[in-house]
Amino acid sequence: MLQSPVQGTVARLTVRGLLGSRRGILLAVVPVLLLMMSAVAAATSGDKHDLTVTILGRLGLGTLVPLLGLVVGTGVIATEIDDGSIVYLLAKPLPRWRIVTTKLIVAVLTTWLFSAVPTLLGGLLLYGTRDGLAFALTLGTMVAGAAYSALFLLLGVASRNAVVIGLGYALIWESLIGNFVKGARTLSIQQWGLSVAKAVASSGSLTADVALGAAVPLLLVVTAAATVLASVKLAGLTLASED
């Protein structure tokens, strides 16, 4: 019998761990910021197309989505591994891959809720439905958010320094090196998301450095491979002591 990839109780506990107590408020900074900036920008007289790309593309997709993916992706599993409470979950008669898929789906949905929804609302507020820009950026945010979640979940299972490594990837590789070295952008989830967005928006309204033919397979491969690897890693997890 084929099992559903989501296990209800695990999903419920993960959501509670992610959004419970005050942590949900911290994640809410992302949508609040995006909507506030969009509202402020909508009130100014500047070039709306430029502003939309700057706020939702550069600030949103370029900075906030990786950070959100990092907090959520590591938050669903690395915190449990860190404080050792994962053993109670691992001791249950559940296949390990179902734990990973459940947590991944919770992470992806949370990332979408906190980044894609405000991107759509902000885009509509700023630029309306012209050029399909709002929908395009929303779709780009969604695919990038899913890939970031999967990648950072894998990091959370594989390393105790997941957050630092993830920051290194998102900030140093994608932003700093990607700014100077054009080739580095080929291996950047952010650029893959932009590429998908560019394909959806009417031509000329967005620019991306990676061709769609490369971006879509890369996105799929990274997301799938990260999920599989995380399952394998979790299956053989040893709880090392804190250094």
Partner 1 sequence: MPTPSDRPAATAPGTGVIHDIGYRSYQGPRLGRSYATRSLFVQGLRGAFGLGRSGRSKVLPMLILAAMVLPAGMLVALTVFQQRADLPVDYPQYLSSFGLFVEIFLAAQAPVLLSRDLRNGTMPLYFSRPITRADYVRAKAAAMVAALLIVTVLPLLALYAGALLAGLDFVHSTEHLGYGLLAAVLYSVVLSAVGLLIAAGTPRRGFGVAAIMGFLVVSSGVATVLEGLSDRSGGGSASGSAADWAYLISPDDLVDRFVNHVCGLVRTVPTSIGDTPGTLGALVFGLEMLLIVAGAYALLLRRYRKI
Length of the chain: 243
Annotate 69-110 with three-state secondary structure.
HHHHHHHCCHHHHHCCCHHHHHCCCCCHHHHHHHHHHHHHHH
Q: Which of 33, 113 has the CB closer to partner 1?
A: 33
Nearer to partner 1, 51 or 219 (CB): 51
**What is the nearest approach in angstroms of partner 1 to the Cβ of residue 34?**
10
The label of the residue with tokens 């690897």 reads 229
Query: Residue 77 or residue 219: which is nearer to partner 1 going by CB?
Result: 77
Of 37 and 107, the one with the shorter C-beta distance to partner 1 is 37
Q: Which residue has the tokens 């989505």?
A: 65
Minimum Å gap between C-beta 183 and partner 1 is 20
Give whichever of 78 and 133 is closer to partner 1, judged by the CB atom: 78
Minimum separation from the CB atom of position 73 to partner 1 (A) = 10
Of 22, 26, 49, 219, nearest to 127 by C-alpha is 49
**Residues lying near partner 1 in the complex (CB under 8 A):** 23, 26, 29, 33, 37, 40-41, 44-47, 51, 54-55, 58-59, 62-64, 67, 70-71, 74-75, 78-79, 82-83, 161-164, 167-168, 171-172, 175-176, 242-243
CA–CA dist 67, 87 (Å, integer): 27
Question: Residue 194 is encoded by which pair of tokens?
Answer: 């932009």
Is the Cβ of residue 66 or residue 140 nearer to partner 1 in the bound state? 66
The least distance separating partner 1 from the CB of residue 1, rounded to whole angstroms, comes to 37
**Minimal distance in Å, beta carbon 45 to partner 1?**
6
What residues contact residue 197 under an 8 Å CB cut-off, 6+ apart? 57, 61, 136, 137, 139, 140, 141, 206, 208
Phi and psi at 44, nearest 5°, equal -85, 170
Cα separation, 122 vs 134, whole angstroms? 8
Q: Is 34:64 a contact under the CB 8 Å cutoff?
A: yes
Least separation in angstroms between CB 145 and partner 1: 16
